[in-house]
Amino acid sequence: MSTINHITNPNSPQEKYGGPGAAAHLSGQRRELVIIDPNVDQWQILAAGVKPATFVHILDPNRNGVEQINEILEERKEGRGERKESIFSLPPHPSSSPSSLSPLSLHLISHGSPGTLYLGNSTLELGNLEKYRSQLEKWHIAHLYIYGCEVAAGDAGAEFLQKLHHITQTSIYANPHLTGNTALGGTWELQQIHPCPPVGERSRTAAPLLDGGSPSPLSPHTLTTYPHTLGFSAQTTFAVGDSPQSVTVGDFNGDKKQDLAVTNLINNNVSVLLGDGSGGFSPQTTFAVGALPVSVTVGDFNGDKNQDLAVANFGSANVSVLLGDGSGGFSAQTTFAVGANPLFVTVGDFNNDNNQDLAVANGGSDNVSVLLGDGSGGFSAQTTFAVGANPVSVTVGDFNGDEKQDLAVANRFSDNVSVLLRDGSGGFSAQTTFAVGDDPQSVTVGDFNGDKKQDLAVTNVSDDNVSVLLGDGSGGFSTQTTFAAGGDSFSVTVGDFNGDGKQDLAVTNVSDDNVSVLLGLIL
């Protein structure tokens, strides 16, 4: 257990570097360094609200945050980088030798959760403190202020911060509550973590203030007007079946509220949960499908404007189609044969007849099945197209600008992506392959360099990263560029998570139990 001291936030004046007494500030008073993770909402407000005479650095959201902090502190310890403050122009300050500089207080402003800090595209948590020990031991800072939400909460927070203290040998202040806007339940009042207190005891006496004032590097106006908190909402769970494998979103009862469909591997069925529009869902209703369902997608296969489901069944080598009734219910399945061990199913229109078709990656037969829809809920017999070894994911795009839908397939055992260009009659050209990383698992389409040509992003499980391949608009792709993600990077999707108009990536990391967000991959 950890002893905690409250820190108050009175207003106090601070000098700017370069003004009267600046040299005394550098040599005899404490220096403040603020590091902001741009993954927090409207980080620009926080950066602009930092008090004068305070150094600011913005992390690169696509790099390991712990390693970046270590680099920043090393530069300051060596007297380098004192005049370079990321993208912000700060007042100049007099030069000082490294030996004359006072100890540094570090303020980390990032997302947090109990016992975890989210920094760049990485986390700092109990499970990886030993991994970063050699870097953390070099920080040599006087105080560490952690602003992430609930980092100090519960046993997880206490154990994490105690170990972090023992490694860094610095006094640590953190928040067991939400940090940020008071109307949202947040507070900017941090609490001091004391090493090895008596079991069950917590001290709440006032902690020492910085230079007679507040330890917060943010202006009082910023503290009262910042409209967010620095954490994630807690998960809400909804029961489904045994060993759920895949989830997709649709509106299955026509109420304009988003619902969920989930495949349950062991139960050989699909759970449908109807959304209430407020983040809640009804208890599941299940619908039988084939053996070992692993992938589900949404379409309108009979043209009635109601959303239907298509499910890839790994164990029965077929696809189940369930037609929606528009009220949240579905017809009994109709099955269509595909290849061996189908792992993924997606929807497209591959013969330009305005009827939705299916493409299925068959992991056991190293090919893709294409089933052309008849517009009434039925499908033609499959046509297969060879791809690489153990295809595990397939996506649809237009990679050569001919307004025909092409396919990209991630091949796990051959460490590449197959691109199949459509011929306009429902057929596809022979594959062209492009190398990616080790054990590719998921492939998605985006435009990551803003040239209006479709690119690919692929997760590589064994490399813990994502490959990005830029399209040339003629069906070809550049050599991969890789971006670090988390442990066993598994699934990837595209979105604009910070509203800057650039396409971002979200990656699920199996062994780290988290999601990496890579912002603005404009290459």
pLDDT in tens, 64-120: 999 999 999 988 766 544 333 333 323 333 344 444 456 789 999 999 988 899 999
pLDDT of residue 523 exceeding 50: no
| Per-range mean pLDDT, top range of 42-46, 212-216, 288-292 | 288-292
Overall average pLDDT of the 155-174 stretch:
92
- Which two tokens mark 211? 């230079």
pLDDT of residue 236: 76
DSSP designation for 426: S
42 pLDDT above the threshold of 70:
yes
Task: List, for residues 322-381, the tens digit of each pLDDT value.
Answer: 999 999 999 999 999 999 999 999 999 999 999 999 999 999 999 999 999 999 999 999
Q: What is the pLDDT of the chain when averaged over all its residues?
A: 84
Quick one: which of 117, 110, 153, 155 has its CA closest to 136? 117
Please name the residue ranges forming H helices in 53-194: 65-77, 133-136, 154-168
Q: Could you report the per-residue pLDDT of 404-417, keeping only the tens digit for each?
A: 999 999 999 999 99
CA distance 450 to 455: 10
36 C-beta neighbours (distance < 10 Å), count = 22
Provide the pLDDT for residue 49.
93
DSSP string, 359-406: EEEETTTTEEEEE-B-SSS-BPPPEEEE-SSSEEEEEEE-SSSSSS-E
Q: Residue 352 is encoded by which pair of tokens?
A: 């330009």
> pLDDT tens digits for 454-501?
999 999 999 999 999 999 999 999 999 998 888 888 899 888 776 677
Looking at residue 101, what is its pLDDT? Answer: 53
Is the per-residue pLDDT at 199 higher than 60? no
In order, the DSSP letters of 192-237 are EEESSPPTT----SPPPPBTTB-S--B-HHHHHH---BSB-PPP--
pLDDT above 90 covers what percent of the chain? Answer: 63
Q: CA-to-CA distance for 484 and 122, rounded, in angstroms?
A: 9
Supply the pLDDT for residue 26: 40
Judged on CB neighbours under 10 Å (0-12, 13-18, 19+), 426 is: middle
Q: Contact 329/285 with Cβ under 8 angstroms? A: yes
List pLDDT tens digits, range 382-439. Answer: 999 999 999 999 999 999 999 999 999 999 999 999 999 998 676 999 999 999 999 9
CA distance 239 to 187: 33
- pLDDT tens for 218-250 read 999 999 999 988 876 556 789 999 999 999 999
The dihedrals phi and psi of 275, each to the nearest 5 degrees, come to: -80, 150
* Residue 90: predicted pLDDT: 31
For the four alpha carbons of 33, 39, 42 and 44, in that order, the dihedral sign comes to positive
The answer on pLDDT for 205 being more than 60 is no
- pTM score, two decimals? 0.63
Residue range 7-34, pLDDT digits in tens: 323 232 222 232 233 333 344 456 889 9
The residue type found at 395 is T
